[in-house]
Amino acid sequence: MAYENNNVEAVSPKGTLIYPTLIKPDTKFDEAGVYKTKIKVPAADAQAFVELIEKVQQEELERQISEAESKKKGSGKRVKEAQLPFEEVEEDGEDFVVFNFKSKASYTDSKTKEVVQRKIPLFDSKGKGLTADLKIGTGTVARISCFVCPYYTALLGAGVTLRIRGVKIIKLVEFTGGGASAGYLGFDEDEDEGGFEADNAGFDADDVPDQDADDGDDRPNF
């Protein structure tokens, strides 16, 4: 479904999170803070999502080319295509696609002009809201609701970013801070077919700002 600024709402396939920063935003390169994570998906499961991203980026490229031609007919100006927000990798003979997601921790409301702090809504496998004291680590299995947001800059070209709207956690792997996890220490996994389910809820609807597609958060961070 398309939104203003040609943003498209989508949900990623199930995959494994890599270095998720979803509770407390990263301020290393941006004082305002950025939520971010990568998600690794088996290539066979990722194809439809890959095709959607490529389609949105191609449409943006064509828009920019058309605009450039209308402004400077015959100038020969070339609109380049930006790097896609995913990469193909191979591990132990298996093919995966690693998608890169992010979202600014605040935005300026287009109507009130006030700065609004954003939280990433988190849900368990049953759709119940989660508390903010989770320690979500690499290896967590999840799906990500996002906006596929097209952009254009002269430096990067026409591209898309994947802006996080919310995360559904199917299997939680907690970050310990010291690198030690159950798997790392050699414990076998006890399968629970029901998936990860939280004991208590949090992030009430009133606490989470609207995930407005037109809040200026559809541009890359430089």
Q: pLDDT confidence of 222, banded at 50, 70, 90?
A: very low
* Higher pLDDT, residue 195 or 172: 172
How confident is the model at residue 180, as a pLDDT?
47
Degrees to nearest 5, angle at CA 74 with 73 and 76: 115
Q: pLDDT confidence of 75, banded at 50, 70, 90?
A: low
Q: pLDDT confidence of 174, banded at 50, 70, 90?
A: confident
Rg, the chain, Cα only? 19
Interatomic CA distance for residues 175 and 79, integer angstroms = 42
Q: Which domains does the chain show, CATH number per domain?
A: 4-204 (2.40.50.140)
How confident is the model at residue 138, as a pLDDT?
95
At 205, phi and psi to the nearest 5?
Answer: -55, -35
Interatomic CA distance for residues 151 and 147, integer angstroms = 12
Interatomic CA distance for residues 195 and 172, integer angstroms = 9
Q: Ranked by mean pLDDT, which of 22-36, 136-150, 187-201 comes out on top?
A: 136-150
Mean pLDDT of 182-211: 54
Degrees to nearest 5, angle at CA 4 with 205 and 10: 60
